[in-house]
Amino acid sequence: MAIIKIQKGTKDILPEEMSVWHFMEEKANEIFTKYGAKEIRTPIFEATELFARGVGDTTDIVNKEMYTFEKSERSLTLRPENTAGVVRSFIENGMHRLSAPIKLWYKGPMFRYERPQAGRQRQFHQVGIEVFGIKQPSADAEVILMAINYLKALGLNDLTVELNTLGCPVCREEFKTKLKAVIKPYLSNLCEDCQSRYEKNPLRLLDCKSPECQEIFAKSEIQAVIQGDFICPECAEHFKTLKEYLDTLGIKYERNKLLVRGLDYYNRTVFEIKSNSLGSQNAVCGGGRYDSLVKNLGGEDTPAVGFAMGMERLASLIGKIEDKKTTAFVISNDVKEALKLTEELRAENITTEFDLSNKKFVKQLEKASKTAKFAVILGEDEISQNKVTVKNLDTAEQKTIERSNIIKFFK
């Protein structure tokens, strides 16, 4: 009978890898809680319309990458990202009535049908933050700081922050008009995706990775528009103040006017954090401000800003973390006594194992030496005298104590 294999673009996270994943999750809870963020868990699938309206029907995610299926005449989609789902929950559960800022963090699997590559799968995991209710650039600065401090808590320090502003819908229209005008003579030479984006969302042209398109966008007349300052005075002040806050916090950043991010809902601040330890696919965090998304999805007009990080990519940078050893390994050929003592220790939150297959003492000791800090020996003499022998498996020191003192010994 043929073996059923794992699907392309998915990956088993094996027991020996879980220590890294637990580390990322524990640090997320630790760091984000310090900033007053609370965890939220939204469903893995949502109404397809949520992503079409939220992420944007001009994006590659909605047009090419969503896993969508019909059920009971309803169109459902496995979530390709989590911001839209968190916003839906924010609206549906009346969180706008809470005192701002409302800070929510999440972790979990996302699904995109795209070509698998290093650190990216069709089922992948993200950890992220969404902050609602604050329009001032102080929220942008704190979100960027949260991202940096989380990455540093994971041991990742060789980082670069790239920053840009997309302006607001009003001033962005002028930029789009100028950009389309200078690109129009080269339109037939652009890739198929860019030709589609030209009409639907010309800002997304700057996000194209095609070398041929990048060569066109490097032309002087196009660069003059890209590098020009098109944003209105209010948006310019927002960006200027954000940079001042980052300077005050000692956060180094680079302005990248080509940075637009791949989702339609962004406005004003967008940013990426890159690891200099990776190759060309070096972004470990992306985010920005999305002040119109809550209203677009039917809620009150609520400013918001956030970020997301791919956990597979983070795991590749962290590397292997050794599993913690079990505290105690009970060694005995009396299964009943071994069971009793093991459960007594576990009841006191002392991680404990014993040999279920009841092998010889020597074999049990060999196994204990590989997996535990202490061997707790229950031989015939110890059982008859109501004692236990405890051996430190690192130093080989051992002593016999009263059985009633075993909890005290470990505590």
Q: 349-358 burial, b if ≥16 CB within 10 A, otherwise e?
A: ebebbbbeee
In the chain, the N- to C-terminal Cα span, in Å, equals: 52
Looking at the structure, tell me whether residues 124 and 256 fall in a common domain: yes
Looking at the structure, tell me whether residues 288 and 332 fall in a common domain: no
The gap from C-alpha 87 to its chain's centroid, in whole angstroms, comes to 17
Q: How many CB atoms lie within 10 A of CB 277?
A: 13
Looking at the structure, tell me whether residues 164 and 107 fall in a common domain: yes
Looking at the structure, tell me whether residues 39 and 140 fall in a common domain: yes
Which helix (H) or strand (E) segment holds residue 161: the answer is: strand 159-165
Q: List C-alpha distances in Å: 392 to 141, 142, 329, 369.
A: 50, 47, 11, 9
pLDDT digit string, tens, across residues 90-132: 999 999 999 999 999 999 999 998 776 665 689 999 999 999 9
Confidence at 319, pLDDT banded by 50, 70, 90: confident
Looking at the structure, tell me whether residues 299 and 336 fall in a common domain: no
286 domain residue, yes or no: yes
21 domain residue, yes or no: yes
142 domain residue, yes or no: yes
Closest to 122 measured CA to CA, from 260, 8, 282, 262: 8
pLDDT of residue 244: 96
Structural domain boundaries enclosing 372 = 326-410
pLDDT of residue 280: 59
5 domain residue, yes or no: no
pLDDT of residue 60: 63
Confidence at 28, pLDDT banded by 50, 70, 90: very high
- Tell me which of 45-49, 239-243, 276-280, 400-404 is least confident: 276-280
Confidence at 278, pLDDT banded by 50, 70, 90: low
Q: Which is more confident, 7 or 263? A: 7
- Phi, psi angles (nearest 5°) of residue 144: -65, -40
Left, alpha or beta for 253 (phi > 0: left; psi -120 to 50: alpha)? beta
Instruction: Please give the share of the chain, as a percent, with pLDDT higher than 70.
Output: 94
**Helix residue ranges per DSSP H, 74-210:** 83-92, 137-153, 169-183, 192-200
DSSP state of 82: S
Looking at the structure, tell me whether residues 282 and 352 fall in a common domain: no
**Residue 137 DSSP SS3:** helix
Looking at the structure, tell me whether residues 302 and 340 fall in a common domain: no
* Domain-terminating residue out of 318, 346, 380: 318
* Domain-terminating residue out of 288, 318, 348: 318
pLDDT digit string, tens, across residues 43-97: 999 999 898 887 766 566 666 788 888 888 889 999 999 999 999 999 999 999 9
Confidence at 304, pLDDT banded by 50, 70, 90: very high
pLDDT of residue 57: 60
DSSP state of 155: T
Q: Which is more confident, 269 or 217? A: 269
Looking at the structure, tell me whether residues 294 and 331 fall in a common domain: no
Mean of the pLDDT values across residues 376-393?
A: 89
Looking at the structure, tell me whether residues 273 and 131 fall in a common domain: yes
| Rounded CA separation 409/411 (Å) | 6
* Domain-terminating residue out of 256, 283, 318: 318
Confidence at 250, pLDDT banded by 50, 70, 90: very high
Reply yes or no on whether the pLDDT at 349 is more than 60.
Answer: yes
Beta strand 398-402 pairing with 102-111: unpaired
214 domain residue, yes or no: no
Looking at the structure, tell me whether residues 350 and 378 fall in a common domain: yes
Reply yes or no on whether the pLDDT at 279 is more than 70.
Answer: no
Note whether 303 and 133 are within 8 A (CB): yes
Confidence at 262, pLDDT banded by 50, 70, 90: low
3 domain residue, yes or no: no
The residues, any chain, with a CB within 8 Å of residue 204's CB and separated by 6 or more, are 58, 59, 197, 260, 262
**What is the chain's alpha carbon radius of gyration, rounded to the nearest angstrom?**
28
What's the burial of 211, exposed, middle or buried (CB within 10 Å: 0-12/13-18/19+)? exposed
pLDDT of residue 58: 58
Q: Which is more confident, 212 or 10? A: 10
Q: List C-alpha distances in Å: 216 to 166, 175, 207, 389.
A: 21, 18, 13, 77
Looking at the structure, tell me whether residues 28 and 124 fall in a common domain: yes
Q: Total structural domains in the chain?
A: 2
Q: Give the domain CATH number at 396.
A: 3.40.50.800
Q: Which two tokens stand for residue 71?
A: 């059920």
pLDDT of residue 263: 65
Note whether 104 and 40 are within 8 A (CB): yes
